[in-house]
Amino acid sequence: MLSDTHLDGRAGIDAGLVKRLLAAQFPQWSDLPVTPVEVDGWDNRTYRLGEELTVRLPTAPGYVPAVEKEHRWLSVIGPHLPVPIPVSVALGKPGEGYPHPWSIRRWLDGDTARPDRIADLSTFAEEVADFLLALQRVDATNGPTAGEHSFYRGAPPAYYDDETRRCLRTLEDHLDIDRATAVWNAALAAEWRGRPVWFHGDVAQGNLLVRDGRLAAVIDFGTSGVGDPACDLVIAWTMFAGPSREAFRRTVAQDDGTWARARGWALWKALLGLAQDAEQGRPLAAGNLRVVEEVLADHESG
């Protein structure tokens, strides 16, 4: 048994720990099998619990605020959305050497949204856009305002100004920095003046589930909150292109300023990955290079 109170990170989390936590806090579920999920994230470790439940444990202190936030709010916003989202059925406490709160949720059927699993990418783009519009229509009163808990998704991209400009300096021998700087400056200038709405914060291929080729569920609301929805448009460049991007753009129907800030969010994330590659002497990731180039071209196309 783990005896200290400082267990942290992915290395210390395994099915045995989950079984001990269940036995101590939720004995009604302790006899169910515990198995790792096929595709896991970095912020949390997730285990399937029997046929109908999952156990989700944050891997570091920075991800802890999401646990109670999701437990409190997902059951509130879920009924208003066109596809299922995770619903927390129990909130666990630190124990058995594990120092963070954790949660038990309903299992959602579906496969990660790889392009080869999607029947028609343009239709899928419209389904994602419809989901985001439904999310934005949910009453945001008293919802968690964008901030540290959302890693500042939903806040102005200016929060990452220093980091973005450092990345640009790091990459000056690899990218057209003047073009990239123009996109970033445009994002900062497009001040958000709308009413606060719900945003997901990490709309990405790994957080979208499909079944029979269609959008079946949306997971991982750890960076969700109430604020500016521009961060949720990043998928326009990370997953969609050509007709599917246009279908997403048309359906989600956001204004030019929101798209400018969205380009800033996409650029920041891609530059961060590329700068890490450069600093560690690795080849620059082709996916991030593609995102940067397509964001620049999108900005310049007007």
Tell me the pLDDT tens digit for each residue of 29-88: 999 999 998 877 778 999 999 999 999 999 999 999 999 999 999 999 999 999 999 999
- Whole-angstrom distance, CA of residue 38 vs CA of residue 169: 38
Pick the more confident residue, 6 or 12: 12
Per the listing, tokens 């496969």 go with 111
Same structural domain for residues 181 and 193?
Answer: yes
- Whole-angstrom distance, CA of residue 178 vs CA of residue 172: 9
Residues 89-146: tens digit of each pLDDT: 999 999 999 999 999 999 999 999 999 999 999 999 999 999 999 999 999 999 999 9
Torsion of CA 248, 250, 256, 257, to 10 degrees: -40
How many alpha carbons fall within 13 Å on the CB side of residue 192?
A: 23
In a domain, 250, yes or no: yes
In a domain, 154, yes or no: yes
Q: Is the pLDDT of residue 7 over 70?
A: no
pLDDT for the residue 10: 53
Specify the number of domains making up the chain. Answer: 2
The mean predicted confidence, pLDDT, of the chain is: 94
Q: Residue 4: which pLDDT band, with cuts at 50, 70 and 90?
A: very low
3-class state of residue 254 by DSSP: coil
Same structural domain for residues 287 and 241?
Answer: yes
The answer to whether residues 81 and 215 touch, using CB atoms and an 8 Å cutoff, is no
Q: What share of the chain is helix, strand, coil (3-state, %, to 5)?
A: 50, 15, 35
- Whole-angstrom distance, CA of residue 246 vs CA of residue 243: 5
Range of the domain at 26: 10-108
- Whole-angstrom distance, CA of residue 131 vs CA of residue 258: 17
For CA atoms 143, 107, 54, 217, give the dihedral sign: negative
pLDDT for the residue 38: 80
Q: Would you say the pTM of this structure is higher than 0.85? A: yes
pLDDT for the residue 42: 74
Q: Residue 302: which pLDDT band, with cuts at 50, 70 and 90?
A: confident
CATH number, domain containing residue 248? 3.90.1200.10
In a domain, 237, yes or no: yes
Nearest to 67 by CA among 78, 55, 76: 55
Same structural domain for residues 215 and 147?
Answer: yes
Same structural domain for residues 203 and 255?
Answer: yes
In a domain, 3, yes or no: no
Same structural domain for residues 136 and 201?
Answer: yes
- Whole-angstrom distance, CA of residue 108 vs CA of residue 85: 8
Tokens of 28: 């009604």
pLDDT for the residue 64: 95
In a domain, 219, yes or no: yes
Q: What average pLDDT does this structure show over 221-236?
A: 98
